[in-house]
Amino acid sequence: MAASKGKKSRYTVFISYSRRDAFIASTIAAKLRAMGIEVWLDARDVEGGDPILERILAGIDACHEAVVLISQAAMGSQWVAFEIGAVCGQHKRVTPVLNNVEPNAMAPLRGIQAIDLNQLQIFFGEVRRRLEALTSGE
C-alpha cells in the first residue's frame, strides 16, 4: 500500500474503474508496475474494514496522475464519478481510457484528450516520458 500515505516517493498512477472492468484495470496496473511505476488500485489498496472514502482520497492525494477506464459500467458508477471529481479538483492529470464508448461519454471528462483501450500503448509511452522527465529532474 505504498502510495496511500500521502507521500510521493515514486511516480504514482491512480486507477479509477468500475468493478465490472477489474480485469482490464489489473492488467493496466501490472503493465505500469513493470515500468517501475507505483499504482494505486482499490483491489490492492483498500482492505476489509478500511474507511473506503478515506483510502480513496489518500490514494488520490498521493498520486501524480490518474487513469480512468471509461466503459458503460463506469458511466453508471458513482465511485468513478467521485474519483474523477477528486482528481480534477486537485488539478492533476487525468487520462480517460475508452472501452467501447464515445470520447465525450462522461461529462466531467469532456474536453480532455482520451485514449482508446485498443491504443493503450500510447498511454504507456506518455507515462514513461513523464516518469523519465520527473526522474531526470531530481
Per-domain residue ranges of the chain: 7-136
In 10 A of CB 64, how many CB atoms?
A: 19
Residue 99 has pLDDT above 70, yes or no: yes
Q: What is the pLDDT of residue 110?
A: 85
Residue 74 has pLDDT above 50, yes or no: yes
For residue 41, what are the contacts with CB-CB under 8 A and spacing of at least 6? Answer: 15, 25, 26, 29
Q: What is the pLDDT of residue 116?
A: 95
Residue 138 has pLDDT above 50, yes or no: yes
For residue 4, what are the contacts with CB-CB under 8 A and spacing of at least 6? Answer: 40, 45, 55, 58, 59, 62
Check: CATH 3.40.50.10140 for 7-136? yes
Q: What is the pLDDT of residue 3?
A: 41
**Residue in the block written with cell 511516480:** 11
Report d(CA 19, CA 126) in Å as an integer: 26
Residue-averaged pLDDT of the chain: 89
Query: What does the pLDDT look like over 106-130, one tens digit per residue?
Result: 888 888 999 999 999 999 999 999 9
Residue 4 has pLDDT above 70, yes or no: no
Residue 17's pLDDT band, with cuts at 50, 70 and 90, is very high
Of 132 and 61, the one with more pLDDT: 61
